[in-house]
Amino acid sequence: MLLTKFDPFKELRTLEERMNEAFSSDLKKDIFSSFSPCVNTREGEFAYHMDIDLPGVKKEDISVKVENNILTLKGERKTKEETKKEDYYKVESSFGSFMRSFTLPENVDAENIHAENKDGVLEITLPKKSSKSKTAKQIKIK
């Protein structure tokens, strides 16, 4: 099972990072235009599987990185140019950048992780390390 460690101060750190970005010299980023994609996880016999809903996001705009046993997804959904033809306008889609991080189980083979973007869903396969038989061994006392 893929577990995510609970961090009670994560939201505060996220707020602090956004505030720092807002007052930094790089004002090109809009700190309030972000979204968090839905992630479905499941465990199979030989691998863990993650399905991330990213409709409208090109694979060139997605980054998948593993560092220190943490899988980090980053990307951006760019707004489309829309023309307003009526007296009203409504947009329900979320646009902007996103970042999600997941702590990987110890038995994940990080060297062979596979990711594929298909039909607006990023599918990540996290193969399990082959477990050698852990049989008990009697130690002879000399």
- Name the token pair of 34: 């972000």
Output the pLDDT for position 33: 55
Tens of pLDDT along the chain (142 residues) come to: 667 777 778 888 888 888 877 776 544 444 445 678 899 999 999 999 999 999 888 889 999 999 999 999 999 887 766 666 666 566 666 778 889 999 999 999 999 999 999 999 999 999 999 866 556 667 676 6
CB 126 within 8 Å of CB 49? yes
Output the pLDDT for position 142: 63
Output the pLDDT for position 6: 75
Question: How far apart (Å, rounded) are the C-alpha atoms in residues 72 and 37?
Answer: 13
Short-list 104, 139, 124, 121, CA closest to 56: 121
**Number of helical H runs and strand E runs in the chain:** 1, 7
**DSSP H or E stretch at residue 3:** none
Return the number of other C-beta atoms located less than 10 Å from residue 76's C-beta.
17
Output the pLDDT for position 29: 47
CATH (one of 2.160.20.10, 2.60.120.10, 2.120.10.70, 2.60.40.790) for 10-78+93-127? 2.60.40.790
Please state the domain extents for the chain: 10-78+93-127
Helices within 7-138 (DSSP H only): 10-22
Return the number of other C-beta atoms located less than 10 Å from residue 129's C-beta.
13
